[in-house]
Amino acid sequence: MKKRSSLLRQLYRRTFKHYGPLHWWPGETPFEVMVGAILTQNTAWTNVEKAIRNLKKNRLLDPKKLLKLPPQKLARLIRPAGYFNVKTKRLRHFLKFLMAEYNGNISKMKRRPSAELREKLLAVNGIGPETADSILLYALAKPVFVIDAYTRRILSRHYLTKKETPYEALQDFFLQRLKPDVSFYNEYHAQLVNIGKDFCRNNPRCDQCPLNGLNW
């Protein structure tokens, strides 16, 4: 009989063999990753890229500059990412938080412990568990496991968890079985998203999925 912890490692080996290293998150700076984490909420990444390109083109990828920008102009720039009115508000809530707590200094933020940061991020209107954890892992290099719609779907399709399992419980499922490791968690979540995109949508292609035939 296989040990429980090796189950998630098996899954990872399969996906990694299929895709190779994915080197997430696609973003040049921690701040860019944070902005991307908010913009990608329920949104295809290709649309987020356009919005980030607009911000870069105008040299606005900076907490102070972005906060100084009139909301209307910000909305226009991030328009391709969808939900632009909502996301303008969410971005501005986050920027105000960043300035108030850390004076816009990401290095200062990074020095704080992970649990404290998570709690504070979750208190920001517009930042939920996935966005908070994405920021912690991909921008601040904290060993937290990110759960998203794909992760949820893949686990439940393989009868490892139930569809309605709450976010924190799913996160514990990974945390209890995998040693804390930033680059491993980083790569693991990236792999899951790719599997989700390619094989595990609402109209799944399980027959061609690299996870096909895994026995647990």
Q: Give dist(CA 65, CA 82) in Å, integer.
A: 22
Q: Give dist(CA 195, CA 151) in Å, integer.
A: 9
The reply to whether 54 sits near DNA by the rule CB under 7 A is no
The reply to whether 201 sits near DNA by the rule CB under 7 A is yes
The reply to whether 171 sits near DNA by the rule CB under 7 A is no
Indicate the residue among 71 and 180 with the shorter CB distance to DNA: 71
Q: Which of 201, 199, 175, 198 is nearest to 188 (CA)?
A: 175
The reply to whether 143 sits near DNA by the rule CB under 7 A is no
- How many residues does this entry show for the chain? 216
3-state secondary structure of 77: helix
The reply to whether 202 sits near DNA by the rule CB under 7 A is yes
* Position among 30, 63, 104, 129 found at the interface with DNA (CB under 7 A): 129
Looking at this protein, which amino acid is placed at residue 78? I
The reply to whether 120 sits near DNA by the rule CB under 7 A is no
* Position among 131, 144, 171, 185 found at the interface with DNA (CB under 7 A): 131
The reply to whether 46 sits near DNA by the rule CB under 7 A is yes
Q: Which of 175, 165, 163, 169 is nearest to 136 (CA)?
A: 175
The reply to whether 80 sits near DNA by the rule CB under 7 A is yes
Phi/psi region, residue 214 (left: phi>0; alpha: psi -120 to 50; beta: rest), is beta
Q: Among all chains, which residue has been given the structure tokens 């949104």?
A: 43
Closest separation in Å from C-beta 81 to DNA = 7
* Position among 11, 52, 130, 144 found at the interface with DNA (CB under 7 A): 130
Closest separation in Å from C-beta 210 to DNA = 17
* Cα torsion 183, 134, 37, 58: sign: negative
Which residues lie near DNA (CB under 7 A)? 24-26, 36-37, 40-47, 50, 79-80, 82-87, 124-132, 134, 138, 148-150, 193, 196-197, 201-203
